[in-house]
């Protein structure tokens, strides 16, 4: 890998080395991840490299993120590089860890227990995560829930929580600062801000913890917070849909999702105002702190159900 | 007369009255609710659509007219998802 200067990190399950022709990228990355610096990430670490290209002498400089053999065009502005690095890091973490079940989910620790918080993009999982952190919860990830299917341990992948402009005021209410002040922009031109895990304090990052609860986050018909329980099959499908590496497990992925749902307490939670949602969630978990709740007794054993939706496909 | 037949290469998980089906050829998963599961299970290549609807009325205590309509609708969906053939 030539004479590039490599910087080494271990971000939870991911060991990586980073080199950049743009020095400020190292400064940015260090701001976000300096607590995860290691002296040597090892020979099989993921590598990320920021390179600059000028296809023609009169062309503007283009930035490329290379990650273990793949290339991502990162635009002409240095401000677009960090979000591309984050994207590449997520993608490579998924690809390089097929032994785990990985879900598009926030992951937190509350009183020694792992909590998976799967949600669609834009639901507000990063904002909720940040509020929970401010209440003493510990952080595993705001993006990927990494579960060992052999041990049911939830592993840390403590990326810098990423928020978009609409979440900014709420975060600032908590007294947290975002980085950088004017945001980074990806190709979709939306501003993105990061919260350094360093700012959360070393104790805020949890080690691997036993997974006990799965809370699907969503918006309800009426203002939340409130929870509903689904049948085991319904919960499994919800969870399976959030899997980001289903092809790594093929038919086992569904079987493992069933096992996981049966191993955990599972709810769907309609989010409300965060000041109400956080204590509501804590009370719920405290009430069911160890033993999986039986799935909702199906009252429809002999009761006809409407034909639609009869069949749900993922 | 059509006698729908469920496909036999699917991986089946039965959970309470519901089924989760995994199609390894298409790498797709499906959840069938209790009534859809019941209909799918009757697709054994022996029963006609009308017979399945009759079984549905016996099992779920539903009017025959509704059962026929819903059986047809369910079979159409199951066919579209490649979970049955027309036998």
A179-236, pLDDT tens digit by residue?
888 888 766 677 889 988 877 776 889 999 999 999 999 888 788 888 888 889 999 9
CA–CA distance, A77 with A62 (Å, rounded to integer)? 8
Question: Confidence band (pLDDT; 50, 70, 90) for A1?
Answer: low
Sorted by where each starts, the structural domains of chain A and their CATH numbers stand as 7-96 (no CATH), 101-287 (3.40.50)
Between these two residues, A56 and A47, which has the higher pLDDT value? A47
Taking a contact as any Cβ pair under 8 Å apart, which residues of chain B between 23 and 62 contact chain A? 24, 27-36, 39, 59-62
Taking a contact as any Cβ pair under 8 Å apart, which residues of chain A between 285 and 314 contact chain B? 295, 298, 300-314
Contact A251 B11 (CB under 8 A): yes
Q: What CATH class has B9-81? A: mainly alpha
Residue A297 predicted with pLDDT over 60: no
The lowest-confidence range among A5-19, A80-94, A161-175, B18-32 is A161-175
CA–CA distance, A156 with A102 (Å, rounded to integer)? 11
Q: What are the chain B neighbours of A295 within 8 Å (beta carbons)? A: 16
The reply to whether B1 touches chain A by the CB within 8 Å rule is no
Cβ atoms of A118 and A242 within 8 Å: the answer is yes
Contact A310 B77 (CB under 8 A): yes
Residue A152 predicted with pLDDT over 80: yes
Residue A71 predicted with pLDDT over 50: yes
Residue A7 predicted with pLDDT over 50: yes
Q: What is the pLDDT of residue A55?
A: 77
The reply to whether B10 touches chain A by the CB within 8 Å rule is no
Residue A67 predicted with pLDDT over 70: yes
The Cα of B25 is separated from the nearest Cα of chain A by a number of Å equal to 10
CA end-to-end distance (rounded Å), chain B? 10
ipTM surpassing 0.90, yes or no? no
CA–CA distance, A65 with A42 (Å, rounded to integer)? 21
Beta strands in chain A (DSSP E): 7-11, 14-20, 46-53, 62-67, 70-73, 101-110, 113-118, 138-141, 144-147, 153-155, 162-164, 179-185, 191-194, 209-218, 226-228, 265-270, 311-313
Token readout for A103 is 């879900």
Strands A209-218 and A113-118 turn out to be parallel
């Amino acid at each position: 890998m030539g004479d590039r200067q490599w910087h080494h990190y271990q971000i939870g399950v991911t060991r990586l080395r980073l080199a950049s022709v743009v020095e400020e990228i190292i400064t940015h990355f260090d701001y976000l991840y300096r607590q995860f610096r290691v002296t040597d990430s090892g020979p099989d670490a993921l590598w990320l490299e920021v390179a600059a290209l000028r296809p023609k002498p009169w062309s503007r400089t283009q930035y490329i993120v290379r990650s273990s053999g793949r290339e991502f065009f990162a635009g002409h502005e240095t401000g677009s590089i960090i979000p591309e690095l984050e994207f590449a890091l997520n993608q490579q973490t998924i690809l390089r860890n097929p032994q785990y079940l990985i879900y598009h989910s926030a992951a937190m620790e509350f009183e020694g227990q792992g909590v998976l918080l799967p949600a669609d993009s834009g639901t507000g999982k990063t904002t909720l995560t940040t509020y929970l952190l401010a209440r003493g919860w510990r952080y595993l990830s705001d993006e990927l829930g990494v579960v060992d299917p052999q041990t049911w341990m939830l592993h840390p992948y403590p990326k810098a929580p990423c928020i978009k402009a609409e979440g900014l005021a709420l975060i600032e209410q908590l007294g947290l600062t975002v980085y950088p002040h004017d945001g980074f922009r990806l190709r979709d031109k939306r501003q993105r801000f990061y919260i350094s895990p360093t700012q959360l304090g070393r104790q805020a990052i949890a080690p691997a913890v036993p997974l006990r609860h799965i809370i699907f986050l969503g918006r309800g018909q009426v203002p939340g917070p409130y929870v509903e329980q689904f049948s085991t099959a319904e919960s499994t499908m919800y969870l399976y849909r959030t899997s980001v590496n289903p092809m790594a497990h093929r038919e086992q992925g569904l079987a493992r999702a069933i096992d996981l749902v049966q191993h955990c307490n599972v709810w769907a939670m309609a989010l409300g105002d965060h000041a109400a949602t956080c204590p509501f969630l804590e009370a719920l978990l405290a009430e069911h702190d160890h033993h999986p709740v039986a799935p909702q007794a199906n009252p429809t054993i002999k009761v006809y159900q409407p034909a639609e939706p009869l069949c749900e496909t993922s | 007369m059509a006698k729908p037949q469920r496909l036999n290469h699917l991986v089946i998980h039965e959970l309470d009255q519901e089924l989760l089906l995994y199609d390894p050829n298409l790498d797709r998963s499906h959840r069938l609710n209790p009534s859809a599961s019941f209909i799918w299970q009757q697709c054994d290549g022996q029963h006609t659509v009308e017979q399945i609807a009759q079984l549905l009325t016996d099992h779920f205590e539903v009017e025959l007219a509704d059962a026929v309509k819903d059986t047809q609708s369910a079979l159409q969906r199951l066919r579209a998802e490649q979970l049955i053939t027309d036998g």
